[in-house]
Chain A
Amino acid sequence: MADFLQSAGAFVVLMVAVGLVRVARGPGRADRMMAAQLLGSGATGALLLFGAASGESAVYDVALTLALLSAFASIAFVKFALRQDQLDDGEDAA
Protein backbone atom coordinates (compact mmCIF):
# COMPACT_ATOMS: atom_id res chain seq x y z
CA MET A 1 0.00 0.00 0.00
CA ALA A 2 2.85 2.39 0.85
CA ASP A 3 4.24 2.03 -2.67
CA PHE A 4 0.90 2.91 -4.17
CA LEU A 5 0.49 5.97 -1.92
CA GLN A 6 4.01 7.08 -2.77
CA SER A 7 3.44 6.84 -6.52
CA ALA A 8 0.06 8.58 -6.27
CA GLY A 9 1.79 11.44 -4.43
CA ALA A 10 4.48 11.59 -7.09
CA PHE A 11 1.80 11.76 -9.77
CA VAL A 12 0.09 14.68 -8.02
CA VAL A 13 3.42 16.50 -7.72
CA LEU A 14 3.99 15.94 -11.44
CA MET A 15 0.57 17.42 -12.20
CA VAL A 16 1.39 20.50 -10.11
CA ALA A 17 4.71 20.88 -11.92
CA VAL A 18 2.98 20.74 -15.30
CA GLY A 19 0.42 23.27 -14.08
CA LEU A 20 3.21 25.72 -13.27
CA VAL A 21 3.60 26.29 -17.03
CA ARG A 22 0.70 28.70 -16.53
CA VAL A 23 2.97 30.92 -14.43
CA ALA A 24 5.27 31.36 -17.40
CA ARG A 25 2.52 31.85 -19.97
CA GLY A 26 0.38 34.30 -18.03
CA PRO A 27 -1.24 36.28 -19.53
CA GLY A 28 -2.70 38.15 -16.55
CA ARG A 29 -1.60 38.42 -12.97
CA ALA A 30 -4.64 36.46 -11.86
CA ASP A 31 -3.68 33.53 -14.10
CA ARG A 32 -0.25 33.37 -12.51
CA MET A 33 -1.81 33.49 -9.08
CA MET A 34 -4.09 30.61 -10.03
CA ALA A 35 -1.06 28.45 -10.77
CA ALA A 36 0.25 29.29 -7.30
CA GLN A 37 -3.15 28.26 -5.92
CA LEU A 38 -2.83 24.99 -7.79
CA LEU A 39 0.53 24.53 -6.11
CA GLY A 40 -1.16 25.04 -2.76
CA SER A 41 -3.97 22.52 -3.15
CA GLY A 42 -1.86 20.03 -5.12
CA ALA A 43 1.00 20.05 -2.67
CA THR A 44 -1.45 19.66 0.22
CA GLY A 45 -2.82 16.50 -1.37
CA ALA A 46 0.66 15.20 -2.18
CA LEU A 47 1.83 15.82 1.39
CA LEU A 48 -1.15 13.90 2.76
CA LEU A 49 -0.31 11.00 0.47
CA PHE A 50 3.37 11.02 1.42
CA GLY A 51 2.47 11.29 5.09
CA ALA A 52 0.23 8.24 4.89
CA ALA A 53 2.89 6.35 2.92
CA SER A 54 5.63 6.99 5.47
CA GLY A 55 3.42 6.80 8.57
CA GLU A 56 4.94 10.07 9.76
CA SER A 57 2.00 12.00 11.18
CA ALA A 58 3.95 15.27 11.42
CA VAL A 59 3.59 15.59 7.64
CA TYR A 60 -0.15 16.16 8.13
CA ASP A 61 0.67 19.28 10.13
CA VAL A 62 2.84 20.49 7.26
CA ALA A 63 -0.08 19.93 4.89
CA LEU A 64 -2.38 21.88 7.19
CA THR A 65 0.09 24.78 7.35
CA LEU A 66 0.54 24.80 3.59
CA ALA A 67 -3.22 24.94 3.04
CA LEU A 68 -3.43 27.89 5.41
CA LEU A 69 -0.51 29.68 3.76
CA SER A 70 -1.91 29.31 0.27
CA ALA A 71 -5.21 30.80 1.39
CA PHE A 72 -3.34 33.78 2.87
CA ALA A 73 -1.25 34.15 -0.30
CA SER A 74 -4.36 34.49 -2.43
CA ILE A 75 -5.97 36.98 -0.11
CA ALA A 76 -2.77 39.04 -0.10
CA PHE A 77 -2.75 38.96 -3.89
CA VAL A 78 -6.33 40.20 -4.11
CA LYS A 79 -5.60 43.04 -1.68
CA PHE A 80 -2.50 43.98 -3.67
CA ALA A 81 -4.39 43.91 -6.98
CA LEU A 82 -7.13 46.10 -5.52
CA ARG A 83 -4.60 48.70 -4.37
CA GLN A 84 -2.82 48.65 -7.73
CA ASP A 85 -6.11 49.17 -9.54
CA GLN A 86 -6.91 52.12 -7.33
CA LEU A 87 -3.43 53.58 -7.80
CA ASP A 88 -3.31 53.53 -11.58
CA ASP A 89 -7.01 54.13 -12.12
CA GLY A 90 -7.65 55.33 -15.65
CA GLU A 91 -4.38 54.05 -17.03
CA ASP A 92 -4.32 50.83 -19.01
CA ALA A 93 -2.17 48.25 -17.31
CA ALA A 94 -2.17 44.59 -18.15
Chain B
Amino acid sequence: MSYLLDLFSIAAIVAGAVFYLAGTVGLLRFPDAYNRLHALTKADNLGLVLVVIGLLPQVDGVLTGLKLLLVWLLVMLSSAAVAQLIARSVRRREKRP
Protein backbone atom coordinates (compact mmCIF):
# COMPACT_ATOMS: atom_id res chain seq x y z
CA MET B 1 0.00 0.00 0.00
CA SER B 2 2.73 2.44 0.92
CA TYR B 3 4.53 1.40 -2.27
CA LEU B 4 1.48 2.40 -4.30
CA LEU B 5 1.23 5.71 -2.43
CA ASP B 6 4.90 6.41 -3.12
CA LEU B 7 4.33 5.65 -6.78
CA PHE B 8 1.38 8.04 -6.86
CA SER B 9 3.45 10.77 -5.18
CA ILE B 10 6.30 10.34 -7.63
CA ALA B 11 3.95 10.49 -10.62
CA ALA B 12 2.20 13.63 -9.36
CA ILE B 13 5.43 15.43 -8.42
CA VAL B 14 7.08 14.61 -11.76
CA ALA B 15 3.99 15.96 -13.54
CA GLY B 16 4.21 19.08 -11.37
CA ALA B 17 7.88 19.54 -12.24
CA VAL B 18 6.99 19.28 -15.93
CA PHE B 19 4.44 22.06 -15.47
CA TYR B 20 7.04 24.21 -13.71
CA LEU B 21 9.29 23.64 -16.71
CA ALA B 22 6.44 24.63 -19.04
CA GLY B 23 5.80 27.80 -17.03
CA THR B 24 9.44 28.85 -17.21
CA VAL B 25 9.74 28.10 -20.92
CA GLY B 26 6.53 30.04 -21.54
CA LEU B 27 7.73 33.00 -19.54
CA LEU B 28 10.95 33.11 -21.54
CA ARG B 29 9.66 32.29 -25.02
CA PHE B 30 6.17 33.74 -25.39
CA PRO B 31 5.98 36.89 -27.51
CA ASP B 32 4.00 39.41 -25.42
CA ALA B 33 3.05 40.22 -21.87
CA TYR B 34 -0.42 38.64 -21.94
CA ASN B 35 0.89 35.31 -23.19
CA ARG B 36 3.64 35.33 -20.61
CA LEU B 37 1.16 36.13 -17.86
CA HIS B 38 -0.92 33.19 -19.00
CA ALA B 39 2.05 30.79 -18.88
CA LEU B 40 3.03 32.09 -15.47
CA THR B 41 -0.27 32.08 -13.64
CA LYS B 42 -1.79 28.93 -15.11
CA ALA B 43 1.01 26.48 -15.85
CA ASP B 44 3.01 27.38 -12.79
CA ASN B 45 0.05 27.04 -10.46
CA LEU B 46 -0.91 23.71 -11.94
CA GLY B 47 2.64 22.65 -11.13
CA LEU B 48 2.22 23.74 -7.53
CA VAL B 49 -1.16 21.99 -7.25
CA LEU B 50 0.32 18.73 -8.55
CA VAL B 51 3.23 19.01 -6.11
CA VAL B 52 0.78 19.53 -3.24
CA ILE B 53 -1.33 16.55 -4.34
CA GLY B 54 1.80 14.44 -4.59
CA LEU B 55 2.97 15.47 -1.13
CA LEU B 56 -0.36 14.81 0.61
CA PRO B 57 0.23 11.04 1.05
CA GLN B 58 3.75 11.72 2.35
CA VAL B 59 2.97 14.01 5.27
CA ASP B 60 2.25 12.73 8.75
CA GLY B 61 -0.82 14.08 10.48
CA VAL B 62 -4.02 15.67 9.28
CA LEU B 63 -2.97 19.13 10.41
CA THR B 64 0.08 19.19 8.16
CA GLY B 65 -2.04 18.05 5.26
CA LEU B 66 -4.50 20.84 5.94
CA LYS B 67 -1.62 23.30 5.95
CA LEU B 68 -0.53 22.08 2.52
CA LEU B 69 -4.08 22.56 1.25
CA LEU B 70 -4.06 26.05 2.77
CA VAL B 71 -0.88 26.93 0.85
CA TRP B 72 -2.53 25.67 -2.31
CA LEU B 73 -5.72 27.69 -1.73
CA LEU B 74 -3.77 30.85 -0.94
CA VAL B 75 -1.58 30.59 -4.04
CA MET B 76 -4.60 29.81 -6.21
CA LEU B 77 -6.57 32.78 -4.92
CA SER B 78 -3.69 35.23 -5.08
CA SER B 79 -2.55 34.25 -8.54
CA ALA B 80 -6.06 34.49 -9.94
CA ALA B 81 -6.36 38.01 -8.55
CA VAL B 82 -2.84 39.04 -9.52
CA ALA B 83 -3.26 37.81 -13.09
CA GLN B 84 -6.24 40.14 -13.55
CA LEU B 85 -4.49 43.06 -11.89
CA ILE B 86 -1.27 42.80 -13.87
CA ALA B 87 -3.14 42.28 -17.13
CA ARG B 88 -5.18 45.40 -16.40
CA SER B 89 -2.04 47.38 -15.64
CA VAL B 90 -0.39 46.25 -18.91
CA ARG B 91 -3.53 47.12 -20.86
CA ARG B 92 -3.81 50.57 -19.30
CA ARG B 93 -0.24 51.28 -20.32
CA GLU B 94 -0.88 50.08 -23.86
CA LYS B 95 -3.99 52.20 -24.32
CA ARG B 96 -2.26 55.43 -23.38
CA PRO B 97 -1.44 57.79 -26.26
Contacts and interface: CB of A to CB of B under 8 A. Distances in A.
A8 B13 contact: yes
Q: Tell me the interface secondary structure of chain A in the complex.
A: helix
Contact of B59 (A52, A68, A82, A89): A52
B67 A11 contact: no
Interface residues of A, number: 46
A51 to B, nearest CB: 8
Main secondary structure of the interface of B (DSSP, over half): helix
Contact of A42 (B14, B20, B70, B78): B20
Given A12-B51, A45-B51, 14 more contacts: A5-B13, A16-B24, A18-B24, A35-B27, A37-B79, A37-B82, A37-B86, A41-B79, A57-B59, A57-B67, A61-B67, A70-B78, A71-B81, A78-B82
Contacts of B17: 8, 11-12, 15
Interface in A1-49: 1, 4-5, 8, 11-12, 15-16, 18-19, 21-22, 28, 30-31, 33-35, 37-38, 41-42, 44-45, 48-49
Nearest to B97: A90
B74 A67 contact: yes
B89 to A, nearest CB: 5
Interface of A: 1, 4-5, 8, 11-12, 15-16, 18-19, 21-22, 28, 30-31, 33-35, 37-38, 41-42, 44-45, 48-49, 52, 57, 60-61, 63-64, 67-68, 70-71, 74-75, 77-78, 81-82, 85, 89-90, 92
A22 B79 contact: no
Contact of B52 (A31, A48, A71): A48
8 contacts: A15-B21, A22-B36, A44-B75, A45-B16, A52-B55, A75-B82, A78-B82, A92-B96
